[in-house]
């Protein structure tokens, strides 16, 4: 199925596709063209409460089902998702704007999160603990935490969802999903796959809504919801954490980043330049683990900067549906304005523009917010772009001299999600990876993510980890049982 201008999408609560109260809907637009793609049901607090009740009612039976049965159903959903990668990638590009090849990549890895977690469902072992006394035995069980609310952003509208609902369902939790109102369509299609796979009513629910604060408040403050898992900005993450404090629920937060990339003078220059470009410009720079600051050891500075600028100038900007496109539009005017402001601020502070530096002028029916892939040199230390998350296609280059200075500059931020380093010195690779205060380190690797790799941040980039064998832990409680003999 392809989303069309006339199509209206519904909410999915307790196994049924329903309209929002009063038939209220909101519009979803293609960020490349500004065209209306679809109308989507606009839920409010009442629908959020209904979804929470449905998830609560479904929890006892779902959590008691043997892990093998939960895994089988998840594999069935995975098979459906896998069969629809191309179709879902099209929807993803229509609503998010990223190049189609990136959308296929995201849908493939995103479906993979369901398969990975289906396998993990069977391995939630407990322990027999050596007893402190002869007359006692001690066991631990791991049990699902309960109803989970998942709130997700627009930049990875597929994979941010599956890496939350995958481990939640595998653990035996039930879920209420609230996707970003900018990109609700592929989210609905993912839930449709779970419906078709035969998940019982109430186990997964989706409430699309334009009013994020209203619906999120219900989810964060509900005493029934026992876990909030959120991906988005640090600002909103802090707010949800405060709202969740009233009921002391578990909270996982995957928040903003400001990733440094350190290029040492022993690096493979071409691999490092290609890596910097991939890390900064995929998804038009709207990736939480995107390189936001490029630190280059001084002997390489000129050569490396020229090469990166040359590669940036070669990136074709356009509609993600066009096979040639490497950089799509920013998601909206706000996202565009932020990049423009940061570049202007850097230039006003003395920065030199090595590539790009302005709005991209494009031909054809493209009314979206496009920005040229931009490389900046001689950036002042207090420039906004070196401190605030850019979330767009602009990359500042800063020189450094020693390894110690590089690590110090890289760590000089409240964020701690991802960091990168290019070096061929094995000792340096270990020293730098140990010195960086970040949850994810890519050494000679611009894409350090996969279902088996733990994902999460230090400092203000978040709490908890997704993926890897520990991803499912976030959705479980440990119960200790002591037995007197
Ligand atoms: P956002 O915080 O504005 O929105 C995230 C979600 O929260 C959306 O569903 C949104 O509708 C909702 N929301 C917005 N305002 C809200 C409010 N006041 N109360 C409750 N909910 C609200 O973030 P975004 O712009 O959608 O996404 C970009 C941000 O997400 C960036 O900061 C990026 O770094 C971060 N991100 C982090 C990761 C990670 O894994 N750490 C991954 C992707 C994106």
For 415-462, the pLDDT digits (tens) are: 999 999 999 999 999 999 999 999 999 999 999 999 999 999 999 999
Residue of 254, 372, 389, 403 marked catalytic: 254
pLDDT given for residue 362 in this prediction: 84
Tokens of 261: 């990339």
Active site residue 254: yes
**Protein residue whose Cα sits closest to atom 9 of ligand 1:** 180
* Rounded Cα distance, 337 and 328, in Å: 16
Is the separation of the CB atoms in 193 and 165 below 8 Å? no
Residue-wise pLDDT tens digits, 213-233: 999 999 999 999 999 999 999
Question: Model pTM?
Answer: 0.96
Residue of 47, 102, 288, 290 marked catalytic: 288
Specify the residue for token string 């690096």.
267
From residue 329, give the alpha-carbon distance in Å to each of 38, 45, 277, 282, 316. Answer: 19, 32, 17, 11, 11
94-98, 248-252, 313-317, 359-363: lowest mean pLDDT where? 359-363
pLDDT given for residue 28 in this prediction: 97
pLDDT given for residue 78 in this prediction: 98
Task: Summarize the confidence of residues 41-66 as an average pLDDT.
Answer: 98
Residue-wise pLDDT tens digits, 286-303: 999 999 999 999 999 999
Distance 60 CA to ligand 1 centre (A): 31
Q: Specify burial of residue 55 (Cβ count, 10 A radius: 0-12, 13-18, 19+).
A: buried
Active site residue 173: no
Is there an atom of ligand 1 within 6 Å of 181 CB? yes
Task: Summarize the confidence of residues 64-71 as an average pLDDT.
Answer: 98
pLDDT at 4 over 80: no
Residue spans per domain, the chain: 8-255+461-484, 259-450
Altogether, the residues listed in the chain come to a count of 485
Q: Between 3.90.1150.10, 3.40.605.10, 3.30.70.20, 3.40.50.1100, what CATH number should domain 8-255+461-484 receive?
A: 3.40.605.10
Q: How confident is the model at residue 364 (pLDDT cuts 50, 70, 90)?
A: confident
Q: How confident is the model at residue 471 (pLDDT cuts 50, 70, 90)?
A: very high
Task: Summarize the confidence of residues 184-196 as an average pLDDT.
Answer: 98
Tokens of 206: 């989706």
Is there an atom of ligand 1 within 6 Å of 283 CB? no
Is there an atom of ligand 1 within 6 Å of 180 CB? yes
> Which CATH code for domain 259-450?
3.40.309.10
**Protein residue whose Cα sits closest to atom 4 of ligand 1:** 232
């Amino acid at each position: 199925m392809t989303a069309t201008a006339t199509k209206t999408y519904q909410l999915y609560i307790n196994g049924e596709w329903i309209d929002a109260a009063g038939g209220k809907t909101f519009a979803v637009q293609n960020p490349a063209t500004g065209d209306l793609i679809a109308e989507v049901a606009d839920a409010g607090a009442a629908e959020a409460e209904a979804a929470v009740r449905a998830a609560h009612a479904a929890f006892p039976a779902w959590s008691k089902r043997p892990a093998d049965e939960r895994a089988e159903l998840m594999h069935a959903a995975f098979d459906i998702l896998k069969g629809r990668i191309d179709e879902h990638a099209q929807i993803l590009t229509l609503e998010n704007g990223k190049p189609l090849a990136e959308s296929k990549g995201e849908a493939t890895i995103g479906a993979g999160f369901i398969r990975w977690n289906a396998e993990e469902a069977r391995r939630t072992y407990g322990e027999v603990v050596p007893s402190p006394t002869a007359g006692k035995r001690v066991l631990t069980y791991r049990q699902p935490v309960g109803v989970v609310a998942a709130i997700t952003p627009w930049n990875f509208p597929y994979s941010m969802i599956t890496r939350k609902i995958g481990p939640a369902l595998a653990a035996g939790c039930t879920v209420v999903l609230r996707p970003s109102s900018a990109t609700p369509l592929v989210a609905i299609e993912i839930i449709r796959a779970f419906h078709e796979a035969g998940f019982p009513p109430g186990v997964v629910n989706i409430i699309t809504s334009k009013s994020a604060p209203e619906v999120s408040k219900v989810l964060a403050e509900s005493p029934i919801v026992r876990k909030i898992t959120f991906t988005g900005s640090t600002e909103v993450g802090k707010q949800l954490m405060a709202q969740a404090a009233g009921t002391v629920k578990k909270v996982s937060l995957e928040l903003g980043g400001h990733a440094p990339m350190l290029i040492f003078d022993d690096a493979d220059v071409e691999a490092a330049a290609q890596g910097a470009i991939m890390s900064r410009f995929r998804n038009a720079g709207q990736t939480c683990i995107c390189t936001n600051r490029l630190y280059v050891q001084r002997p390489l500075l000129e050569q490396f900067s020229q090469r990166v600028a040359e590669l940036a100038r070669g990136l074709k900007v356009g509609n993600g549906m066009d096979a040639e496109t490497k950089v799509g539009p920013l998601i909206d005017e706000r996202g565009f304005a932020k990049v423009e402001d940061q570049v202007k601020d850097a230039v006003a502070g003395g920065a030199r523009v090595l590539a790009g530096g302005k709005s991209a002028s494009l031909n054809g029916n493209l009314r979206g917010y496009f920005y040229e892939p931009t490389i900046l040199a001689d950036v002042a230390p207090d420039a906004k772009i070196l401190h605030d998350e850019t979330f767009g296609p602009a990359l500042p280059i800063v020189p450094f001299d020693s390894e110690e200075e590089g690590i110090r500059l890289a760590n000089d931020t409240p964020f701690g999600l991802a960091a990168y380093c290019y070096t061929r010195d094995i000792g340096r690779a270990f020293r730098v990876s140990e010195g960086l205060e970040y949850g994810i380190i890519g050494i000679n690797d611009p894409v350090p993510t996969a279902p088996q790799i733990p994902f999460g941040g230090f400092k203000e980039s978040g709490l908890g980890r997704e993926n890897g064998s520990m991803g499912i832990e976030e959705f479980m409680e440990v119960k200790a049982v002591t037995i007197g003999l």
